[in-house]
Structure 1
Amino acid sequence: MNSVTNIQNPLKDERNLLRRLYVSRIGLVLESILVGLASGLVVALFRLALVKADGIRFTWYTFLRNQIHQGRWQPLVLQIGLYSLLGLILGWMSIWRPMARGSGIPQLKGYFEGRFQFRWFSELLVKIVSGILGIGAGLSLGREGPSVQIGSYVGMGLLSRSSRPEVEKKFLITAGASAGLAAAFNAPLAGVLFALEELHRVFSPLLLTCTLAASMTADIMAGLFFGMHPVFSFRALNLLPIKLYPWLMLLGIVSAFGADLFKRALYRVQDLYKASKLPRIIWPILPLIASIPLGLYYFDVTGGGHPLIESLTESPRAIVILGTLFIIKLMFTALSYGVGTAGGIFLPLLVCGALLGTLVGQVLSAFGFIDQSYVLNFLILGMAAFFTAVVKAPVTGAVLILEMCGNFNHFGGLMLVCLVAYVSSDMLVSEPVYEVLLRRIAATTEPVPEKTGQNL
């Protein structure tokens, strides 16, 4: 009798273990859907606020140009005063909650590596408010990095009273991060791949399932506000002939050099701010004041730059103008990012990639190597190549551009140009941007201790 009982008990224990494991995994996926819905809603509202801010800024600069043309300088003086005050507010926010600075992706990587802790509620508020104020005022920063960190904060908030193991909590926080990127760009698959390729650099079936569930629900939530169409509305693309693929290798190489310049500018400007001995609280005033003449004469380089990418498809730009816009956008992005206010580099670097790709395409067209109708292909492929060389995440770069453009006809060209850009970047010994930024943050910023019950 005892032998029968001894046999049954292990079997019963095994069944209970399998049942708990099954329930745990199903529960984790369901919670990922909840995280995706909440993250998608918050990021969609953040994105909507930025769209409204862009419209207000465009209307204001139209009015300001008219006033200056009529010899009335009072509105310009008023804007300088308001931007100085805004810079002090943004500077104070970056000091009060340093983990909410910049894009937030390096901080999130550091969190997963156990280097940092977050105060999710107050940092979430700072990220949203400072992101809307800074990007909306015209700083050359993107919404994607803040959206990734906002999604992770939302996940932390939903898990603040959860009793799940730490590993499962990190899965759900990662799901929130991927949902943030999906909602920011209408790119659910890129959100999943970014979590696997950049945030963790490991593959796990359970992690894949959680991020996929969160990204898809966040994309649907964002679709309620912005529709389910791709972010960029490009005209129909001509299929690039295979005989032109060698020129894609040239584009990949040029993009690697451009991306290396982009990263060096980011690091150099950060060093210049620190060496200036100016109080950090006034740092944001410098790019805000610089944005005023740019807003008056080169409006498209201010803000994230989404309208600039789409304007490149409307009419051909002269080669000199493309080169000028590339340098201005690159330098203004470095100047804006270096101050540490909330804002990412995804969208600005995509703008730089689009400008560089268009520039290469226009040069090739001018010399008769390609037809003018293929310049749009080079614009799109330039974005993917530049992203790959800066972030060193080729699969994410290729899929992100595919989803943002909504055209899969150039998949082969995308993979080729991303591969060449990645290899060329390696040959230049150009490290992934977020790895370098993480080291810089870890070396200069005290980790924020997390105290039980005091995470505000």
Structure 2
Amino acid sequence: MGSEYANRLNRQITEAAPWSPLLFMPAGFALLAYCCNRFFPGSQGSGIPQTIAAMDVSGDEKRSSLLSMKIAAGKIVSTLGGLCMGASIGREGPTVQIGASIMHMFYGWGPFQTAAMRRILILAGGAAGIAAAFNTPLAGIMFAIEELSKKHVFNANSSTLVTVIVSGLISLSLLGNYTYFGSSGAFLDWHTGVAAVLSCGIVGGVGGGIFSKLLTASSFNLPPRLAALTKNRRVLYAAVCGLFVAILGVCTQGLVFGTGYAPTRLTLEDSGVLPWYFGLAKLLATLASSMSGIVGGIFAPSLAVGAGLGDNLADLFPSLATHSAVVLLVMASYLSGVTRAPVTSFIIMMEMTDSHQMLLPLMAASVIASGASKLICPTALYHALAHKFLPLPQRLQGEGKSAQGELNPEK
């Protein structure tokens, strides 16, 4: 609810003074970056890499540098602040870290004493975070299994699965049974829609792979001078990123600000026509917002980028399939390309749009997209970013094994 108010406030400001983002967004990004670094270290960015790193940390000691109630509080305030500023961010990554932080608080109490129990708590909290963000309990469960526990054995008969399922159902009972993007009547005949599935899977996967490659490169492979700027002048760097997003927003009449929910829903309902540049502009705005170091997720903006690219594809090839079907397929494909979590991607799209009749096409397109993305960016985005949050000895150990050929982080 808070994110909706923040988005609404930003729209009101930009509608009243269209040029004002050029003034308040650089200052707002700088302030948010300063507060995150000064008062809430560990809260920057999506929050999913921190959660994965907390899962991967060896040993059973309790660490507060990645998951804590202080970080959760900073995550809430900073996410709302970023949405008020108009940053191209979502709430789903932050809710994963918030949920994991809340559950991690119970580690060390009662039966929650071992490293395995710590991972159970983090899994349950992360699953509830995704479920709460979009009211998609099944996607929350699959995200926990497919993404958070990728490096750990997941026993379907263990208490982990029970805890994750219960967390998703609790979220559903609190939020009610609504669909994030409404109900879509899109339909694609499986036998005659092979070309559409292939095309949408490749377009979405390539787009998601490019985004992942650029965001990973901005964290690890920047030129030395620019890398020094991002490390030593974080506030100034955030202000520059804010100015870039503001320019994009002014040029697109505010379409790239926020989560992108409104234009995405209009496109899905065939009731709005997006400009041809929306997908590319939203991708760049999301990339700049993520690079700035402020708090914010990339799930919702990625769905908006996918909607824009799907709209482009539907316009270029109107005979490929119905407009809404193409948009749905590219949205799932782009999300799969970014996250490399194809099962989560097609389930989340099915739950968010009530499009169960699109299950098989969404499934196939998401798997194709994940494969196409891997050719461009071999390392999964969240796991690449999680590496820098691991303790230094564990990072060096992983790098040493990689150098000896025992561990290849690109796989």
Superposition TM-score, scaled by structure 1 size: 0.76
Please say if residues 103 and 146 of structure 1, whose CA atoms lie closer than 8 Å, have aligned partners that are also in contact.
Answer: yes
1:179/1:191 contact within 8 Å kept = yes
TM-aligned CA deviation for residue 147 of structure 1: 0.5
Counterpart CA distance in 2 for 1:331 and 1:429 is 17
d(CA) in 2 for partners of 1:175, 1:361: 38
Quickly say closer, same or farther: Cα 1:428–1:384, change in 2 above 3 A. same
Task: Indicate conservation of the 8 Å contact 1:138/1:288, yes or no.
Answer: no
Secondary structure, counterpart of 2:356 in structure 1: coil
- The 3-state SS of whatever aligns with 1:267 is helix
Local SS of the residue matching 1:141: coil
Q: Secondary structure of 1:410's partner?
A: helix
Q: Which residue of 2 aligns with 1:370?
A: 320
Change (3 A) 1:445 1:401: farther
Match in the other structure for 2:239: 285
| 2:174 matches 1:229 | no
Deviations 1:389-438 (A, max 9, x none): 22111111111111111120011111111222223233445321112212
Cα deviation code 1:279-316 (max 9, x no counterpart) = 11233222333343444442121111111211223446
- Corresponding residue for residue 144 of structure 1: 92
1:88-122 deviation digits (Å, cap 9, x = unpaired): 33122332333211111111111111169325122
Q: Is the 1:146–1:343 contact (alpha carbons within 8 Å) kept by the matching residues of 2?
A: yes
| Counterpart Cα distance in 1 of 2:388 and 2:263 | 31
CA contact (8 A) 1:353 1:384 kept: yes
What letter matches 2:369 in structure 1?
A
Matches of 1:111 and 1:304, distance apart in 2: 27
Q: CA deviation at 1:235?
A: 4.3
Q: So what's the TM-score if we normalise by structure 2?
A: 0.84
Gaps of 5+ in 1: 1-47, 69-75, 448-456
The alpha-carbon distance between structure 1 residues 256 and 292, as it changes in their structure 2 partners (threshold 3 A), is closer
User: Is 1:114 aligned with 2:62?
Assistant: no
In structure 2, the residue matched to 1:15 is none
- Measured against aligned partners, the alpha-carbon deviations of 1:152-199 in whole angstroms (never above 9, x if no partner) come to 111123446445222223312321111111010110010011101110
Alignment partner for residue 171 of structure 2, among 192, 201, 218? 218
Q: 2:120–2:160: 8 Å Cα contact kept in structure 1?
A: yes
d(CA) in 1 for partners of 2:71 and 2:117?
22
The percent of aligned pairs where both chains have the same amino acid is: 25
2:342 paired with 1:394: yes
Question: In the alignment, what sits opposite 1:33?
Answer: none
1:237 is displaced (CA, Å) by 2.1
Q: Which runs of 5+ in 2 are unaligned?
A: 396-411
Write the distance in 2 (CA, Å) between the matches of 1:138 and 1:444.
Answer: 35
Give the residue type in structure 2 aligned to 1:306: Y
Any conservation in 2 of the 1:61–1:295 contact (CA below 8 Å)? no
Q: From the CA coordinates, give the structure whose radius of gyration is larger.
A: 1
Post-superposition Cα deviations, 1:2-43, rounded to whole Å, max 9, x if no partner, equal xxxxxxxxxxxxxxxxxxxxxxxxxxxxxxxxxxxxxxxxxx
RMSD, aligned CA: 2.6
Q: How many residues align?
A: 377
Q: Tell me the distance in 2 between the aligned counterparts of 1:423 and 1:390.
A: 11
Structure 1 position 142, deviation (Å): 1.1
Does residue 271 of structure 2 align to residue 325 of structure 1?
Answer: no
Q: Which amino acid is the alignment partner of residue 7 of structure 2?
A: D
- Partner in structure 2 of residue 126 of structure 1: 74
Query: 2:403 maps to which residue?
Result: none
Which of 210, 214, 218 is the equivalent residue of 1:265? 214
